[in-house]
Amino acid sequence: MIVRYMLRINQNPMRHLSTRKMKLLNLSLLIHLCSLLLVSTQPTNQPPFSCDSTDPLTKSYKFCKTTLPINRRVEDLVSRLTLDEKISQLVNTAAAIPRLGIPGYEWWSEALHGVAFVANISQGIRFNGTIRSATSFPQVILTAASFDPYLWYRIGQAIGIEARGVYNAGQARGMTFWTPNINIFRDPRWGRGQETPGEDPLVTGKYAVSFVRGIQGDSFEGGKLGESLQVSACCKHFTAYDLDNWKGINRFVFDANVTLQDLADTYQPPFQSCIEKGKASGVMCAYNRINGVPNCADYNLLSKTARGQWGFNGYITSDCDAVSIIYDEQGYVKEPEDAVADVLTAGMDLDCGEYLKNYTGSAIEKKKVAVSDIDRALHNLFSIRMRLGLFNGNPAKQPFGNIGSDQVCSQEHLNLALEAARNGIVLLKNDNSLLPLAKTEITSLAVIGPNANSSETLVGNYAGPPCNPVTPLQGLQSYVKNINYHPGCSTVNCSSDLADEAMKIVKGTDQVVLVMGLDQTQEREAHDRVDLVLPGHQQKLVTRIASAANKPVILVLLCGGPVDITFAKNDQNIGSIIWAGYPGEAGGRALAEIIFGDHNPGGRLPITWYPQNLTKIPMTDMRMRPEPSSGYPGRTYRFYQGLKVFEFGYGLSYTNYSYEFLPLTKDKVYLNNQSSDKIALGYKSVSEMGTELCEKSKLPVTVRVQNNGEMDGKHAVLLFVRQAKTGNERPIKQLVGFNNVDLKAGEKAEIKLELSPCEHLSSAEGDGQMVVDEGSYFLSIGDKESEITVVFSEDTSDAATSKLMILPRILIFFYIYSFIHSFIPMHIVLK
């Protein structure tokens, strides 16, 4: 999105803007200035709002009457607008309407893992006043490694509070944040995979629900949001978007060939969860086409699926310039007005760009667009602004008006950022229990690597200025005073390693820590990788340092996407490997705490780590399922049949855990409520079974977890399921539940999870229909399994029990009869 407007190279974003973009930027800034001059008599440090109670004119407007339902208020507002005013509201930088006391509004703000500032482009958030920074949480891919939905919720909640604090301080022109990114991390080369919760649809969906509930102001369980929004979240990029720029193929022209089967059980579920359970108030349609149709011009996707089937009640925005490329780059339509017509009739409401502002008027003149389509879009847009309280008068007197600047970078939020980094970091190797290091025995360290002292690398992309970043070097310095540091390479790309110089600090030190990996020069928006190995001479540097060290070294990797480090995994001179993602501003401290044993690592990989030979497969191949006949191995742990460096869900600890399934309340699941022509084929469609049967078939799964080691620890318990009979394009296995458990040494606990057969045992047919197969399934946690069976015939257990109860009654009758007969003649009894 950002890179559509600028490229961040050499820290000089302006020089890479095209002339057209420069003009758009200047125009955008001019509109902002005019909006402020025309509308605001409010103090500059006061947030912009409408319906000022001190203005007698606003009292006559129905749209200012908070006692009326929002839809009535919006109808009144839209009815007062001229056509030109209506068109001016269809773009991300919505113009002010001075005659109605409505200030300009900026729809585009970012908060992927903390409130961010889109430099020189969007004026939604500014760090130019009393607030100069915001809490920078770990990049999403690392947060996902905690497998902790309540942590995800609290991070969203903290970001929402800080966003309101920035707005209340008068440093925001919008409260709509285009986050979270919930695309599936299908291919490890994707530059934006770091922004996502990983490759699993269930994890991604749960992350979306938890984060959105938190940032919008809902409860963790949901259902308490009502009409008021703390801020507005926007789930993106809808849909099947996971290629940016690979070998000259870019996202603007890429036509993703996606089967209905893969859409149904991989690409779409996170968005369905985000809408139905998370109640997201925004959705962003993606740049790419799906099977020939641009996402933002797809009526079936936006209106029929999102609004019709899933009940979406919010606004739909394009990604930035996604409307213009429909004509300019994809050539999907014959003229610009056709692009405008296609997106509006498809159900899109907002253009991040200028296309709707430039061509909607002429599209109406050419009778390609009806004013009613514009009114519908405006209804969705103004409804969100009203739900945010921006038409309720002075924000200081509104529900979120008491959130002050002191809640931005608060100690509570900084502690949460540290907790998130601690719980996400994954221990990948720990031969001979090299870690944790003994604090009393380590008096000197050699810290080497281009990522060891980079605060910029810590935060990944879409990050705002952090409050108090701590690099890995700084974190280690809090434990060991005698530290020798050398970057090892001049930059992360390591085009020329400085191994000879770095070797000088290795000799004589108690321990060597190498901090290597990637950064935003290697993986980012608009830049996918072509290799999975460490950049440049990094591998050579690591190997040389490890062989020269007095004892096995510790290798720390900062990166979003996975790296093929098979060499390090098999090198006896490398004793421990830690993946720390992009751990946010507290990442250096969290990493040092783990290395020295003040925290026991419990994170697990949210994505498969593949070998380098996966790069032989075109990134453009969107198929999830394998094709053995052609050698195509499939994608993600659910379908991939090739070799792995590390598996999805892999992660070590300083302690040992054991698992035990407690007996299930039932080991047979009966799914028969009506006749079906699919039963003879061995499967049954979920839609056919209906909501009542699906709810009735749910069953609890209880697992006893014990910490058998000598160190307290918190880790994720992952429940998988696999079918006894593999094949038929079904997943090899899939995650169906997860939870976190915090256990002291020697302690045990029971973890309760819920299995929903209609959701967790189903997979997609070729036509996209979700079905459940009859037969045996195996639930697994760690090395333990428990079998359940899906049966389509009627549950006869109750009937059998009733029949068994009849027998004792018959016996009692005959006993009484015989007793009476022994005293009374037969003819009297029968009489």
Q: What is the DSSP string of 412-457?
A: HHHHHHHHHHHHH-EEEEEGGG-PSPPTTT--EEEEESTTTT-HHH
pLDDT at residue 496, as a whole number: 87
pLDDT category at 795 given cuts 50, 70, 90 is low
Q: Is 285 exposed, middle or buried (0-12, 13-18, 19+ CB in 10 A)?
A: buried
- Is the pTM of the predicted complex or chain greater than 0.85? yes
For residues 137-143, give the mean pLDDT.
Answer: 98
pLDDT category at 15 given cuts 50, 70, 90 is very low
Q: Which of 134-138, 528-532, 775-779, 803-807 has the lowest mean pLDDT?
A: 803-807
For residues 553-576, give the mean pLDDT.
Answer: 98
CB 127 within 8 A of CB 133: yes
Q: Which of 99-103, 298-302, 633-637, 679-683 has the lowest mean pLDDT?
A: 679-683
For residues 144-153, give the mean pLDDT.
Answer: 98
For residues 367-383, give the mean pLDDT.
Answer: 98
Q: Which residue has the higher pLDDT, 36 or 286?
A: 286
List the one residue out of 527, 538, 540 whose CA is nearest residue 451: 538
Q: Which of 182-191, 280-289, 528-537, 669-678 has the lowest mean pLDDT?
A: 669-678
Q: 276 pLDDT exceeds 50?
A: yes
pLDDT category at 821 given cuts 50, 70, 90 is low
Q: 19 pLDDT exceeds 80?
A: no
Sign of the CA dihedral 138, 144, 145, 149? positive
Q: 815 pLDDT exceeds 90?
A: no
Q: Would you say how long the chain is, in residues?
A: 831
Per-residue model confidence as pLDDT tens digits over 736-759: 999 999 999 999 999 999 999 999
Q: 717 pLDDT exceeds 80?
A: yes
pLDDT at residue 58, as a whole number: 84
Per-residue model confidence as pLDDT tens digits over 592-616: 999 999 999 999 999 999 999 999 9
pLDDT category at 22 given cuts 50, 70, 90 is very low
pLDDT at residue 12, as a whole number: 36
Backbone angles phi, psi at 538, to 5 degrees: -60, -45
Q: 423 pLDDT exceeds 90?
A: yes
Q: 24 pLDDT exceeds 70?
A: no
% pLDDT > 90, the chain: 85
Q: Which of 105-119, 218-232, 355-369, 782-796 has the lowest mean pLDDT?
A: 782-796
Question: Catalytic positions, please?
Answer: 319
Q: 6 pLDDT exceeds 80?
A: no
| CA 180 remoteness from chain centre | 6
pLDDT category at 228 given cuts 50, 70, 90 is very high
% pLDDT > 70, the chain: 89
For residues 250-278, give the mean pLDDT.
Answer: 98
Q: 762 pLDDT exceeds 50?
A: yes
Contacts for 190 with CB less than 8 Å, ≥ 6 apart: 242, 243, 244, 523, 528, 561, 619
Strands 668-670 and 784-791: parallel
Q: 790 pLDDT exceeds 90?
A: yes
pLDDT category at 16 given cuts 50, 70, 90 is very low
Q: 798 pLDDT exceeds 60?
A: no
pLDDT category at 59 given cuts 50, 70, 90 is confident
For residues 6-14, give the mean pLDDT.
Answer: 36
pLDDT at residue 49, as a whole number: 96
For residues 385-393, give the mean pLDDT.
Answer: 97
The residue with tokens 């057209």 is 20
Backbone angles phi, psi at 18, to 5 degrees: -70, 165
Q: 806 pLDDT exceeds 50?
A: no
Q: 302 pLDDT exceeds 70?
A: yes
CA-CA distances (angstroms) from residue 497 to 455, 486, 503, 650? 21, 11, 11, 31
pLDDT category at 728 given cuts 50, 70, 90 is confident
User: Can the peptide bond before residue 201 be classed as cis, meaning omega within 30 degrees of 0?
Assistant: no
